[in-house]
């Protein structure tokens, strides 16, 4: 997208004239392009000075003229914009941290976009005010701050004024606590933009989020935007999973209102109910079924995954091929990792029981150790921990057949706390027994690529007999 197109989109946004497609284009540009964010911030910061000069009586018209002349020297195509545009950008400058959230909010409530920006302009820069702090973190994450800076080395206790946090791998996890005590967490490969300018606004671009929200101010619910829905939260516990095509909401306590963007339909989702936007039927909340204790991946359906998905052919089954990952703090280590999110279309949670086994089928270029891990949640959707199935007793080399196929078994009784969260072992679950399975991953670690592909992962409950395990292995 050219600078001219970006200029036009910002101009139309500030005037409240963007349609849904244009709003999504501008939002994605700001979310994904550090250059666009930096250019916008620089422009907005200059126009803040311009607006201040006009507002303060101690500045003469000549002062404003000097600023305008100075701006014209560096503006290029921006110099020809009318004063209205510059003044509106001045208002936007103080809320740059909330640009993405504000755009999504405007999709649902377009009449409020410009007037709210004018109201906020009377306050000091929101980007200078901490709205939350990091209370939990592990795995590979990137935080993009409100002024476009990219930070990979984020730590527990860091105060944030807003921005975007992105989990880069299946074992990534991030917990944020707002000043009012509300907490939100993302896990796996997720991307979340957050801001609070008197009202919390979040955008879950993709992935999974769980939240425990304290009662919000009257008329100021927390708003969570996905590509397909807007959630209105007054105070409750819930988790939501979003991707390009759909949003799935599960409510543990309280009530959440969901509005589907495609047709504007609205539903109130009470405790122990779930709803999905991925349907052409009426939007209905459904009672969450009882938990199940068995699960099998279905890679032919192209589920949410980390790695390179490969469709089935006449000769091979669908698979996810591992891709390189450099763990945080270990720049000279390269893992080859593939991961899968775990969820069922009917919303029933998958609970692991003591004595359960995981059966992992795949392909390798040569025999090597296949390391396996899982991520689990508490029933209310909060992150409970990560565990590895190959640490307590070293897993032997995977034995491959003539076609490179292998089958590995991992007994839940052998699982131990993953090193990525070991320093927080006193705060998290001591074992995965009885917890909800949220994600699985497998990786190899050797001098070069191993050719690891995952074909199927199955959770087999303890009441299954050995013959059924052998059938699963075949």
Average pLDDT over residues 147-154: 72
Average pLDDT over residues 376-397: 83
- For residue 34, name the pLDDT band (cuts at 50, 70, 90): low
- pLDDT of 346 > 80? The answer is no
Q: Is 244 exposed, middle or buried (0-12, 13-18, 19+ CB in 10 A)?
A: exposed
β-strand pairing of 222-225 with 295-296: unpaired
pLDDT reported for residue 15: 56
Structure tokens at 6: 């970006």
- pLDDT of 395 > 80? The answer is no
DSSP 217: P
Which carries the bigger pLDDT value, residue 232 or residue 380? 232
β-strand pairing of 453-460 with 383-388: unpaired
Q: Is 388 exposed, middle or buried (0-12, 13-18, 19+ CB in 10 A)?
A: buried
Average pLDDT over residues 17-39: 66
136 close to 383: Cβ distance less than 8 angstroms = yes
Which residues, other chains included, contact 271 with Cβ-Cβ below 8 Å and sequence gap of 6+? 236, 251, 252, 253, 254, 255
Query: In sequence order, what DSSP letters do the residues of 273-289 get, joined into one string?
Result: EEEES--SS----EEPP
3-class SS at 271?
coil
pLDDT reported for residue 299: 92
Single pTM value for the model? 0.64
β-strand pairing of 323-325 with 335-341: antiparallel
Which carries the bigger pLDDT value, residue 291 or residue 48? 291
- For residue 215, name the pLDDT band (cuts at 50, 70, 90): very high
Which residues, other chains included, contact 166 with Cβ-Cβ below 8 Å and sequence gap of 6+? 141, 142, 143, 144, 190, 191, 192
d(C-alpha 116, C-alpha 54), whole Å: 20
- pLDDT of 426 > 60? The answer is yes
- The phi-psi region of residue 13 (left if phi > 0; otherwise alpha if psi is between -120 and 50; otherwise beta) is alpha
Q: Is 461 exposed, middle or buried (0-12, 13-18, 19+ CB in 10 A)?
A: middle
- pLDDT of 363 > 90? The answer is yes
d(C-alpha 102, C-alpha 259), whole Å: 17
Multiple choice CATH, 129-286, 1.10.10.10, 2.60.120.1440, 1.20.1250.20, 1.10.287.3510:
2.60.120.1440
Go through 367-384 and write b for each residue having 16 or more CB atoms within 10 A of its CB, e for each that does not.
ebbbbbbbbbbbebbbbb
Q: Which of 167-171, 178-182, 188-192 has the lowest mean pLDDT?
A: 167-171
Domain 295-473 in the same topology as domain 129-286: yes
Q: Convert the pLDDT of each residue in 264-275 to its tens digit.
A: 999 999 998 999
- 283: number of CA atoms within 13 Å, CB side? 23
Average pLDDT over residues 387-398: 79
pLDDT reported for residue 41: 52
Multiple choice CATH, 295-473, 2.60.40, 1.10.357, 2.60.120, 1.10.3470:
2.60.120
Q: Which of 3-17, 182-196, 236-250, 381-395 has the lowest mean pLDDT?
A: 3-17
3-class SS at 437?
strand
- For residue 67, name the pLDDT band (cuts at 50, 70, 90): very low
Q: Convert the pLDDT of each residue in 285-339 to its tens digit.
A: 888 888 899 999 989 888 888 999 999 998 889 999 999 988 877 788 889 999 9
Helices (H), 334-438: none
Q: Could you tell me the residue ranges of all domains in the chain?
A: 3-95+114-120, 129-286, 295-473
- For residue 155, name the pLDDT band (cuts at 50, 70, 90): confident
β-strand pairing of 237-242 with 247-253: antiparallel
Q: Which of 29-43, 169-183, 409-423, 451-465 has the lowest mean pLDDT?
A: 29-43
Q: At 314, give phi and psi (nearest 5°).
A: -65, -25
Structure tokens at 331: 């720049």
Which carries the bigger pLDDT value, residue 228 or residue 102? 228
pLDDT reported for residue 329: 74
215 close to 179: Cβ distance less than 8 angstroms = no
Which residues, other chains included, contact 189 with Cβ-Cβ below 8 Å and sequence gap of 6+? 167, 168, 169, 170, 172, 206, 207, 304, 306, 339
pLDDT reported for residue 74: 44
- pLDDT of 82 > 60? The answer is no
Which residues, other chains included, contact 226 with Cβ-Cβ below 8 Å and sequence gap of 6+? 203, 204, 205, 240, 242, 247
Q: Which of 378-387, 429-438, 439-448 has the highest mean pLDDT?
A: 429-438
- 205: number of CA atoms within 13 Å, CB side? 22
d(C-alpha 85, C-alpha 7), whole Å: 10
Nearest to 235 by CA among 271, 264, 205: 271
22 close to 12: Cβ distance less than 8 angstroms = yes
> What integer best gives the mean pLDDT of the chain?
77
- For residue 244, name the pLDDT band (cuts at 50, 70, 90): confident
Query: In sequence order, what DSSP letters do the residues of 8-22 get, joined into one string?
Result: HHHHHHHTT---HHH
């Amino acid at each position: 997208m050219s600078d001219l197109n970006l200029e036009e989109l910002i101009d139309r946004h500030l005037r409240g004239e963007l349609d849904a497609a244009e709003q999504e284009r501008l939002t994605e540009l700001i979310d994904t392009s550090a250059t666009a964010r930096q250019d916008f911030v620089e422009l907005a910061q200059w126009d803040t000075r311009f607006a201040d000069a006009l507002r303060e009586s101690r500045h003469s018209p000549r002062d404003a003229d000097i600023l305008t002349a100075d701006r014209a020297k560096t503006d290029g195509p921006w110099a020809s914009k009318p004063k209205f545009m510059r003044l509106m950008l001045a208002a936007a400058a103080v809320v740059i941290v909330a640009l993405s959230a504000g755009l999504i909010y405007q999709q649902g409530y377009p009449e409020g976009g410009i007037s709210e920006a004018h109201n906020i302009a009377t306050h000091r820069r929101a980007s200078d005010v901490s709205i939350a702090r990091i209370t939990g973190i592990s795995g590979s994450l990137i935080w993009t701050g409100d002024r476009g800076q990219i930070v990979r080395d984020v730590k527990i206790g860091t105060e944030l004024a807003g921005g975007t946090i992105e989990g880069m791998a299946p074992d990534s996890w991030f917990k944020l606590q707002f000043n009012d005590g509300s907490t939100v967490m993302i896990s796996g490969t997720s991307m979340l933009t957050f801001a609070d300018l008197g009202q919390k606004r979040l955008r879950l671009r993709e992935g999974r989020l769980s939240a425990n929200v304290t009662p919000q101010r009257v008329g100021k619910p927390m708003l969570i935007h996905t590509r397909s829905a807007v959630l209105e939260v007054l105070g409750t516990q819930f988790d939501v999973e979003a991707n390009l095509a759909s949003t799935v909401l599960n409510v543990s306590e309280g009530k959440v209102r969901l509005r589907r963007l495609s047709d504007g339909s609205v539903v109130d989702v009470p405790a122990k109910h779930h709803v999905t936007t991925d349907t052409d039927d009426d939007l209905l909340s459904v009672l969450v079924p009882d938990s199940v204790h068995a699960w099998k991946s279905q890679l032919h359906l192209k589920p949410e995954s980390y790695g390179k998905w490969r469709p089935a052919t006449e000769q091979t089954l669908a698979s996810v091929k591992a891709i390189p990952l450099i763990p945080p703090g270990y720049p000279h280590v390269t893992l080859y990792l593939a991961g899968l999110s775990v969820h069922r279309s009917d919303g029933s949670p998958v609970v692991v029981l003591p004595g359960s086994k995981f059966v992992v089928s795949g392909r390798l270029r040569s025999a090597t150790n296949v390391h396996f891990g899982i991520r689990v949640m508490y029933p209310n959707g909060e992150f409970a921990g990560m565990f590895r199935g190959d640490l307590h007793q070293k897993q032997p080399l995977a034995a491959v057949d003539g076609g490179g196929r292998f089958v590995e078994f991992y007994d839940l009784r052998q699982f131990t706390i993953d090193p990525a969260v070991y320093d927080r072992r006193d705060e998290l679950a001591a074992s995965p027994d009885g917890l909800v399975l949220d994600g699985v991953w497998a990786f190899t670690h050797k001098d070069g690529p191993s050719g690891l592909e995952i074909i199927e992962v199955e959770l087999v409950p303890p009441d299954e007999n050995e013959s059924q395990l052998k059938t699963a292995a075949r």
